[in-house]
Structure 1
Amino acid sequence: MSATRDHLGRPLVAVTGMGMVTPLGFGVAESWAGLLAGRSGIRRIARFPTDHIKTGIAGCVDLPEDQRGEPLSSPARVERYATLAAEEALAGAGIGGKGRFPGPLFLGMPPIELEWPNRLEFARKAGEGRYPAMIEAAGRRPELFESFLFAGVGEKLADRFGTRGAPISLSTACATGGSAIQLGVEAIQRGETDAALCIGAEGSLCAESLIRFSLLSALSTRNAEPDKASRPFDKTRDGFVIAEGGAALVLENLESARARGAKVLGLVLGCGEHADSFHRTRSNPDGSAIIGAMRAAIADAGLQPGQIDYVNAHGTSTPENDKMEALGMLSVFGDKPPPISSNKSMIGHSLSAAGAIEAVFSLLTIRDQRLPPTINYEEPDPAIPLDVVPNVARDAKVARVLSNSFGFGGQNVCLVLGAEPA
């Protein structure tokens, strides 16, 4: 491995810009300070009524439009979070000024579909609730159709920031943000570009999404204590808390970044993915896909498991996920696993944005040599014998972090992030 090449001779991939919007605040500094302080960003939902829904809490990120009572569709909200995160990342990287980013866009975002208010409007205009009549009524609203095209958000962001080539929009469930970063890393490693803008954004918090996840028994119903609802690895955990937000990372070929005098914030050393077709929400009981993704990322980085100093957990606070992640940890690292903690204990599960947000937090962990805590850890689960950095952040020597993203449908992506080599 040379100063700018990895163990396989591929260009090392640097992170030169980071931006984020989370339930803890707007911007990297505010979000990171809240995370280290162990502050919860989860609260009662005020944006829409939740009277007849089992779960009425979320990690909300309210925009000025929300304060004015202006409704925002899911695609519009995704675009806003992605834009805010990207603007911060690009400003920090000092690249892509005046809408001329010198590389492609990889956007991780949720699947989108026409929302219920629009469907009901078309049913009224059609005079009947039958699907063909509703489709005909929808045909008279081309501007609405265009706003709900899956690739539409990416096209708008590409125009705004002047990225090169066709923007790639993707969705791999809870692994989406990690997948967007992986695609950017691989494009640079193949020599297709010297830079990539990678974004994960999530804005699909609405009554319908709460109902759907509730039907899967996936959400916490601890409505009386929102700040205590997300409790990864705790024995009393009862489900995840849905959240919003976004994060953006500017990736560059390390040699190119150094040549232009960019400040290197860290490296993406390895990526690993492994699919599991066992069940739409549950992992295979043998943990093979989770274990495979973790091992693949570590191997891709040219490392051994013992060289990982900390794991940024997927840690959703569901009984199933946390147990399976613990199985993966013990299988990969043996009887001396590194510390692991869950950002989701404070910000909730931002779904399509989670992998990107947690990658940023992983790089900040390396920068500040400080492990963020897992809050609400009150009753240890005997099935999870791990150091989860309970309740209080602590200092630690951290050179390399494994960041896990395990998605519904068996879509698993892990990233290894590290400090810039001397």
Structure 2
Amino acid sequence: MTRVVVTGLGVKSPAGNTVGDAFAAVLAGTSSATVIPELAGGRAPIPIGCPLAPFEPLDYFTGRELRTLDRTSQIGLAAAADAVADAGGPPAGACGVYVGTGGGGLATLENLIVGHTLGREKVPVYAVPTLMSSSTASRIAIRYGFRGPCLTVNTACASGATAIGEALRAIRSGAIGSAVAGGLDALLSPLAMHAFARVGALSERVDAPAEACRPFDADRDGFVMGEGAAFLVLERADLAEARGARVYGEVSGYAANCDADHIVTPLKDGSVAADCMRAALRDAGLAPGDVGHVNAHGTSTPHNDSAEAAALHACFDGRTPPVTSTKGVTGHLVGGAGALEAVLALLSAREGLVPPTANFTGGPEADLLDIVHGKPRPIPVAPVLSNSFGFGGSNACLVLTPSPSS
């Protein structure tokens, strides 16, 4: 089977805006959650979130360009640009762009509707291209002249992982030789926060934001919304070798399926998610015992974490490798979550160091899983399974095999 390697990484996240800073933050295990001033004072029922680390758009765009880019596209384009630079420049030949997003330009649309309704501002000339969910993917392609497939996928919270997996399949098929793939979202807006609060997804620990996101913990009550983006440059292994590229590792397995049960709540027994994990491992040519650790979806919602724990227990026949959820530090980036976690999972596997699950103190899931908490855990260098599960029952699992760090 065609090997597909990772030659570039880029992140814009609450944990940091460089790959090194983000990885160091999740190893430290300290939550980035805080009160969001724009959501406080009754503007949103839950005014806490994990905002992007300080970010200067002018480092990436001219003032003229910024007038045509909403926040989501700014973050996504910047992360993609970092990944391309990290890879040593744009890959040669047919390169595709695969972007996952759960909300697209929702926050921008909200602002435009409010402003237009109140008569405060005219609808801008660039409203349509700004609001298109496909805008970020198109702008990445335009910036670098990538003329391969330019696709935007939405599988809710699994979108980023799905985009990476579909890019993997396209390269394996021979349709393209390389891809820039990842995910993004920026949903810290009053409307989005109201909507997620209404379905009971958000933690209500508004007086203790740093303690609010507690994946797999017995006292969890919901996730903390985050914002950000992450992108990977994927290349056919022989092409990367021919140009002497630095290789972080491989995307060696991918699978996607659907619970087909409920629009919001995951299947309680986790059986379909377990099937997805098994399929991703088969795709990678690996057995469950070959996995060194799992970066879980681990949102900190009661239903998701219990279902995922059951799925992991079943997939690994009761002998799970170490499990972590980095959302305790970063919050939930929705469409960007699976992509950021793929980056962090690959780095963890490469360094042989599993980040702790922030705020975990115990609970019934600890009887099913080996949950890393308190401090990072050294492990042998080995493949990692990264899980992403979205509303609508969308499941996407990636297997990443690290190259030794130099």
2:36 pairs, out of 21, 34, 45, with 45
SS of the residue 2:205 aligns to? coil
2:112 to 94, 101, 118: 118
Deviates more, 1:222-231 or 1:38-47: 38-47
The DSSP-based 3-state class of the residue aligned with 1:15 is strand
Report the equivalent of 1:134. none
Which SS does the other structure have where 1:39 is aligned? coil
Classify 1:17/1:52 alpha carbon distance in 2 versus 1 (closer, same or farther; 3 Å): closer
Does residue 89 of structure 2 align to residue 104 of structure 1?
no
User: Which residue does 2:17 correspond to in 1?
Assistant: 26
- What is the letter of the counterpart of residue 26 of structure 1? N
User: Residue in 2 aligned with 1:381?
Assistant: 364
Of 46, 53, 63, which residue of structure 1 is paired with 2:55?
A: 63
Please tell me whether the aligned partners of residues 310 and 368 of structure 2 are also in contact (alpha carbons under 8 angstroms).
Answer: no
Q: Distance in 2 between matches of 1:177 and 1:218?
A: 20
Secondary structure of the structure 1 residue equivalent to 2:37? coil
Match of 1:184 in 2: 167
Where does residue 3 of structure 1 map in the other structure?
Answer: none
The SS at the match of 1:115 is helix
Asked whether the equivalents of residues 87 and 246 of structure 2 are also in contact (C-alpha less than 8 Å), the reply is: yes
How far is 1:170 from its partner? 1.4
1:258 and 2:241 equivalent?
A: yes
Shift of 1:180: 0.8
Distance 1:406 1:263 in 2: 31
Deviates more, 1:295-304 or 1:373-382: 373-382
Gapped runs of 5+ residues in structure 2? Answer: none
Structure 2 letter corresponding to 1:12: R
State the alpha-carbon separation in 2 of the partners of residues 240 and 387 from structure 1: 21
Matched-pair contact (CA < 8 Å) for 1:110–1:173 = yes
| Cα distance in 1, alignment partners of residues 27 and 381 from structure 2 | 15
Partner of 1:174: 157
1:206-244: per-residue Cα shift (whole Å, max 9, x none)?
011110000000000111111111100110000001100
- The residue type paired with residue 346 of structure 2 is L
- Is residue 175–residue 407 contact of structure 1 (8 Å, CA) maintained in 2? yes
Residues 306-352 of structure 1 deviation map (CA, whole Å, 9 limit, x = unaligned): 11110000000000000001100111111211110000011111000
Residue aligning to 2:82: 88
- SS of structure 2 residue aligned to 1:269: strand
Q: 1:43 Cα shift?
A: 0.9
2:335 aligned partner? 352
Q: Distance in 2 between matches of 1:320 and 1:38?
A: 23
1:16 partner SS: strand
Deviation for aligned residue 1:49: 3.4
Aligned-partner residue type, residue 34 of structure 2: R
Compute the displacement of 1:421 (Å).
8.9
Secondary structure at the aligned position of 1:26 is classed as: coil
Deviation (angstroms), 1:249: 0.2
Deviation at 1:18, TM superposition (A): 0.6
Is 1:231 the counterpart of 2:214? The answer is yes
Which letter does structure 1 place at the counterpart of 2:142? D
Q: For residues 21 and 332 of structure 1, what CA distance do their matches in structure 2 show?
A: 32
SS in 2 for 1:337: coil
Q: 1:121 to 1:43 in 2, by over 3 A?
A: closer
Match of 1:415 in 2: 398
User: What CA deviation, in whole Å up to 9, does each residue of 1:275-320 have, x standing for no partner?
Assistant: 1221111122232221111111011111111111100000000000
Q: Following TM superposition, by how much is the alpha carbon of 1:146 offset from its aligned partner in structure 2, in angstroms?
A: 2.9
Aligned CA distance change for structure 1 residues 374 and 421 (closer, same or farther; 3 Å)? closer
Structure 1 unpaired stretches of 5+ = 1-9, 126-136
Taking structure 1 as reference, are residues 75 and 384 closer, same or farther at Cα in structure 2, changes over 3 Å only?
farther
**2:268–2:303 Cα contact (<8 Å) kept:** no
In structure 2, give the amino acid aligned to 1:92. D
Distance 1:279 1:74, change over 3 A: farther
Number of residue-to-residue matches in the alignment = 396
Q: Distance in 2 between matches of 1:366 and 1:168?
A: 29
Deviation at 1:158, TM superposition (A): 1.4
Q: Deviations over 1:79-101 (max 9, x none)?
A: 1111221122111111318xx77
Q: CA RMSD in A?
A: 2.5
Distance (whole Å) between structure 2 residues aligned to residue 275 and residue 284 of structure 1? 10
Question: Per the alignment, in what secondary structure is the counterpart of residue 201 of structure 1?
Answer: strand
Q: Deviations over 1:12-34 (max 9, x none)?
A: 01001111111111110111111
Question: What is the TM-score of this pair, normalised by structure 2?
Answer: 0.91
Q: Which residue of 1 aligns with 2:252?
A: 269
- Superimposed CA distance per residue, residues 59-88 of structure 1 (whole angstroms, 9 cap, x where no aligned partner): 10143479xxx9x99971121111221122
CA distance in 2, matches of 1:13, 1:215: 41
How far apart are residue 391 of structure 1 and its match? 2.0
Identity %: 37
Distance 1:282-1:384 versus aligned 2 partners, 3 A rule: farther
